[in-house]
A and B are shown apart, each in its own frame.
Chain A
Amino acid sequence: MWSRFGANIVLEALPSANAVFDPETGETHFVSELPTLVLQAVGPDPATAAKLIQKIAGPVELDENSIEAVHSSLQQLVYAGLVESSYH
């Protein structure tokens, strides 16, 4: 399960990687397109990866590689301290 608490991030769209400011830590991160989409989908209520994928992809069904990319993005975001993972 994935979630993000605290103040909303501030996002500046840039060509090769977006700049993301985390008011909770004061850190600035540079996040590429897919992790940005994933980050914007994560909220304060814990959600499964499947739920997040549904939110990001909408009616489009993602292939295995794309799903793997979303999982990888989540891990990157956890590593950056932007998202929390938990087990329920």
Chain B
Amino acid sequence: MKSEQLTVDSGPFRVGVTSSEKVFLDTLSYFYRDVLRKDAPSVLDYEIHIQRPLNVRRWVIPQVRFEVDDMRPFEPHPAENAFPLYEWGLNWCIATSAHRYMMLHAGSVAFGDLAMVMPGTPGSGKSTLSAALHLRGARLLSDEFGLVRPEKGDLLPMPRGIPLKNASIEAILEFDPAAPLGPTYPKTRKGRVRHLRPDRESQIRQHEPAIPRWLVFPKYQAGAKETLLPLDKTEAFRQLTFNCFNYRLLGETAFRAVAQLIRQMDCYTFTFSNLERAVAKLSGLAQEPGAEQKGRA
């Protein structure tokens, strides 16, 4: 098949994608049809190629390679995993280069234009929680990157497919059987993966920043009662720096940006096991009287 070139608007990034993998391009269109264009802008942030190698693995147990700026930072993946490879590869591109932003390892959603930021290590449940909140109407900002503009203290959206892994897939389908999920990738390096498509509104509003208002450190714990507890701001500061990809690199800029975030956000820990109850609990924060005022202080 002939290579096709597309441009995906991914929050503040313009991503050029070239591939001749039809299934991959169809999946890309399924997830990002509202922000996909065929007329390439003159300047791209990343030019990504997803192509088969020129050796025998082009046809035999076919593989694809991720290439950006003439670099191939990863080993080839099975061709059927082209879409997750693209998503993880783009994450790598952003994490290793987008230091104009302070990057939090966090899921984030917005209620109106007020953001709930949920930092966490793998397994904390931040992606599943972000997905559930989004399915119940919150605007998806990101499930992976909290992109903070240090000079403004706001959060830039980058709504992309949320990769649900293993049991989280069933948890989301139980929560919402009509959840718009893409194909299942049974054999990725992170196990079984399926992506939740962000809704149209989140994608077309991806250039509208959100004001950080709540900082919630989630922890999934099987069987636990949903418990939302205020977190001491010193500890919140400490944990937020730990969950910041480029804190050390940005130095004083990051310190001041974190300080500003901690000042303006209410900080919590949140233990949960059931998504319905978790969403009700967290959404309740947005409905409290005065929720809107502090975020704009």
Contacts and interface: CB of A to CB of B under 8 A. Distances in A.
Interface of A: 10, 12, 14-19, 21, 23, 26, 28, 30
A21 B255 contact: yes
B234 A16 contact: yes
Interface residues of B, number: 16
Contacts of A12: 237, 255, 259, 262
Interface string B224-236: 0000000011110
B241 interface: yes
Nearest to B249: A26
Contact of B255 (A10, A14, A16, A17): A10
Contacts of B247: 28
A21 B251 CA distance: 8
B259 A19 contact: yes
A28 B248 CA distance: 9
A10 B252 contact: yes
Contact of B233 (A10, A14, A23): A14
B252 A21 contact: yes
A14 B252 contact: no
A21 to B, nearest CB: 4
A21 B235 CA distance: 16
17 contacts: A12-B255, A14-B233, A14-B234, A14-B262, A15-B232, A15-B233, A16-B233, A16-B234, A19-B237, A19-B258, A19-B259, A21-B251, A23-B252, A26-B251, A28-B247, A30-B237, A30-B238
B256 interface: yes
Contacts of B255: 10, 12, 19, 21, 28
Contact of B256 (A10, A14, A17): A10
A28 B241 CA distance: 9
A40 B58 CA distance: 65
